[in-house]
Structure 1
């Protein structure tokens, strides 16, 4: 995947970082190949996901790394230059096109570069209902979370997009935006996204796939909002995968191929291209 010069992007483009929480690489690849996620596939370079390794095995750890500039790493021998990096002596992955910031994290680094930083959270680590759930959203100048954005809502992604549209619509035109959205729909429970599935039968790889199809049906609205004011640089990735009985494992926060291998893409959106 071609690496953009982030020093030309930062300060000129809006930026969208979209984490599809717990999305498995194999499921994402299958659905793209089968034509089941046409709106996402339309934006993926070559219509395909890049295979990468997650920086953590669960949401909190992975997002701490991502917000420090450590996005999922290409699943092949490196070194791999990074898009973003804190100023750090001896870094072997900071390259000419890396945006380097003199703050502890990417969010404050972009704020220092003049961006309005906005978080629209999904899973519980973004709910601000206690000290732990306040750490990640606390990095942002503006953070949003409602029960309707969370894992138990069958309409979580639509509700998140409505909030994004509201936020974007209130920004001054000249204000650059760093928008982060953590999509909760893929995370367990997701059985309600598959017609005919039941709570008693629980979550499966098939209901996980159905949740991604649900996200795809609505993602055009998010892309349209994010690129409505100017060109937008977009990063879409999973923070980690999750196991559904693979080799006897269930869930995440464990070391298994289904957890550490994730889909990734980055691309540019122009306002005319981001159709609903």
Structure 2
């Protein structure tokens, strides 16, 4: 990352609430053609989330604590705030003195953009303003929210506009929190009803919906130069697993998340 920072654009796409098992099953079944084409060997990494709900997890991610590989470590990190005794800061780690990665990148010439999704990014109150407040430019509209059946395509359109507004020489760090997987998601599955509610199947349908639109996001992020992309979930969610529903709880369906990072090479 010490070579990437300052050279490439950066994309952080968090697929809010995405379960690892659902992501793996859909990739293996060929139901995520766009995402799978970019995943190394077409496979998601199995990782542990740094938090069990959006706010906690993103605070950790922006401090340099991305989801941790689900195997004995230590595991060197891509980004790390400088502090004594860190066992996961390695030679190639991008180390910063600022309190968070967003501020650190801004200090190195990046224009930082947040495209919010779930309520912690809606800027409608003090709590919903903390995370977007880290960025030089932040966007949230009701069309980006969990209640919108077309949330991700609206968010991608916003990303396209944000990139187009910048001079070609201006490097960008674009963060997008995709809300489509979060409850309610029943409307992404044909034939599902509000009365029947959300399920693992409607969650899967929401991920398929994201896959239909994510190619546009990748295209705009590689339109000017090479882009380093991180695509991951911030936490999972339970649909009746062992009697649990939702997240902000310590269950395997919540703590285990899919993760990947890769380069988006410049458009020919």
What range describes the TM-score normalised by the shorter chain of this pair?
Answer: over 0.9
Identify the match of residue 24 of structure 1 among 12, 19, 26.
19
Residue in 1 that maps onto 2:100: 105
Identify the match of residue 125 of structure 1 among 98, 120, 127.
120
Identify the match of residue 63 of structure 1 among 58, 68, 79.
58
How far 1:272 sits from its partner (Å)?
2.8
Residue in 2 that maps onto 1:73: 68
Residue in 2 that maps onto 1:180: 175
CA distance in 2, matches of 1:272, 1:117: 22
Q: Is the 8 A contact 2:224 2:267 kept in 1?
A: no
CA distance in 2, matches of 1:57, 1:251: 10
> Residues 214-229 of structure 1 correspond to what in structure 2 (within 5 A)?
214-229=209-224
Residue in 2 that maps onto 1:50: 45
CA distance in 2, matches of 1:41, 1:163: 24
Residue in 2 that maps onto 1:207: 202
Provide the alpha-carbon RMSD of the alignment.
0.6
CA distance in 2, matches of 1:208, 1:171: 35
Runs of 5+ unmatched residues, structure 1: 1-5
Local SS of the residue matching 1:61: helix
1:167 aligns with 2:162: yes
Give deviations 1:209-229, integer Å, cap 9, x for gaps. Answer: 000000000110000011111
Corresponding pairs, count: 268
Runs of 5+ unmatched residues, structure 2: none
Q: Is the 8 A contact 2:80 2:96 kept in 1?
A: yes
CA distance in 2, matches of 1:142, 1:102: 22
> Residues 247-266 of structure 1 correspond to what in structure 2 (within 5 A)?
247-266=242-261
How far 1:271 sits from its partner (Å)?
2.4
How far 1:90 sits from its partner (Å)?
1.2
TM-score if structure 1 supplies the norm length?
0.96
Q: Is the 8 A contact 2:9 2:172 kept in 1?
A: yes
CA distance in 1, matches of 2:185, 2:115: 20
- After TM superposition, the runs of 4+ consecutive aligned structure 1 residues lying more than 4 A away are none
1:236 aligns with 2:203: no
CA distance in 2, matches of 1:212, 1:271: 26
Give deviations 1:14-37, integer Å, cap 9, x for gaps. Answer: 000000000000000000000000
How far 1:188 sits from its partner (Å)?
0.2
Q: Is the 8 A contact 2:48 2:257 kept in 1?
A: yes
Residue in 2 that maps onto 1:39: 34
CA distance in 2, matches of 1:215, 1:173: 27
> Residues 7-18 of structure 1 correspond to what in structure 2 (within 5 A)?
7-18=2-13
> Residues 188-203 of structure 1 correspond to what in structure 2 (within 5 A)?
188-203=183-198
Local SS of the residue matching 2:214: helix
CA distance in 1, matches of 2:169, 2:83: 31
Local SS of the residue matching 1:27: helix
How far 1:102 sits from its partner (Å)?
1.0
Local SS of the residue matching 1:217: helix
